[in-house]
Chain A
Amino acid sequence: GQNIDQPTEMTATEGAIVQINCTYQTSGFNGLFWYQQHAGEAPTFLSYNVLDGLEEKGRFSSFLSRSKGYSYLLLKELQMKDSASYLCAVKDSNYQLIWGAGTKLIIKP
């Protein structure tokens, strides 16, 4: 079967750095997405990786290793507003999105 694994919950301190991991086992690969979802709001697009390596976008970076079936989302200079759930999703060989259950990130002062 197809599977996306990510930690259920993480806690970090304001101003620090946190890395949220995502491992996947899918039938084929056509890209990996990260979304941010604040409580009670829509998931919003953060990043898309289809080639190996690091994509940087401001305080957020996303890394992909296709050979390892692994990605991470790196958040720097954490702010209280970064408290949210972070969803990892992979497009399989049929271009269907397979979703992880999300990682709830709690930022403490």
Chain B
Amino acid sequence: ETGVTQTPRHLVMGMTNKKSLKCEQHLGHNAMYWYKQSAKKPLELMFVYSLEERVENNSVPSRFSPECPNSSHLFLHLHTLQPEDSALYLCASSQESPGSGNTIYFGEGSWLTVV
């Protein structure tokens, strides 16, 4: 139990489908993140929400759309994905304060396969 739960754990979708990944954190943190993890590559930060406001969007294609309805929940809406989007998508959270080096805590990830 990591304190950050993600659903579904595995998802197979066609390129024309629309699906969503869900993340919930039970740690009382004020920041949440979506990362993409591909084999043998560094973690890629996709989106950051701090106090429910998006503060980072690292040139992620518009086929990925995040939503943060409150400080405990984070969604990643997926539509018209490409096969190269197949990867492990990790949600994470942290308690951020100015000038801090606070630890981030990850969920177990959602394995996405685009066919």
Q: Which residues of A contact B (CB under 8 A)?
A: 4, 8, 30-31, 33, 35, 40-45, 48, 50, 87, 89, 91, 95-102
Residues in B64-115 with C-beta less than 8 Å from chain A: 90, 99-101, 103-109, 111
Is B13 engaged at the interface, CB distance under 8 Å to the other chain? no
A42, B101: Cβ atoms closer than 8 Å: no
Instruction: Enumerate 16 A-B pairs (CB-CB under 8 Å) in ascending A order.
Output: A33-B103, A40-B109, A40-B111, A41-B109, A42-B106, A42-B107, A44-B2, A45-B103, A45-B105, A48-B103, A95-B101, A97-B45, A98-B42, A101-B42, A102-B40, A102-B42
Closest B residue to A89 using CB positions: B43
Top 8 closest pairs, chain A to chain B, by CB: A31-B101, A99-B42, A42-B106, A99-B43, A42-B108, A101-B42, A43-B106, A45-B103
Q: Which residue of B lies closest to A30 (CB)?
A: B101
Interface size class of B (residues with CB under 8 A): 10 to 19
> In the assembly, what is the distance between CA of A8 and CA of B42, in Å?
11
Q: Chain B binding site: helix, strand, loop or mixed by DSSP?
A: loop
| Complex contact B106–A44 (CB within 8 A) | yes
Known: A42-B2, A42-B106, A44-B2. A101 touches B40 (CB 8 A): yes
Q: How far is the CA of A101 from the CA of B37 in the complex (A)?
A: 10
* B21 proximal to A (CB < 8 A): no
Which residues of B line the A interface, CB within 8 A? 2, 4, 40-43, 45, 90, 99-101, 103-109, 111
Chain A residue contacts of B40, Cβ below 8 A: 8, 101-102
Find the A residue at minimum CB distance from B103.
A45
Query: Closest CB-CB distance, B51 to chain A, in whole Å?
Result: 15
Residues of B within 8 A of A101 (CB): 40-42
Q: A4 near B42 (CB under 8 angstroms)? A: yes
Closest to B109 in A: A42
Bound CA span A97–B105, Å? 13
Q: Which residues of A contact B45 (CB under 8 A)?
A: 96-97
Complex alpha-carbon distance, A87 and B109, angstroms: 16
Residues of B within 8 A of A96 (CB): 45
The complex places the Cα of A92 from the Cα of B99 at a distance, in Å, of: 11
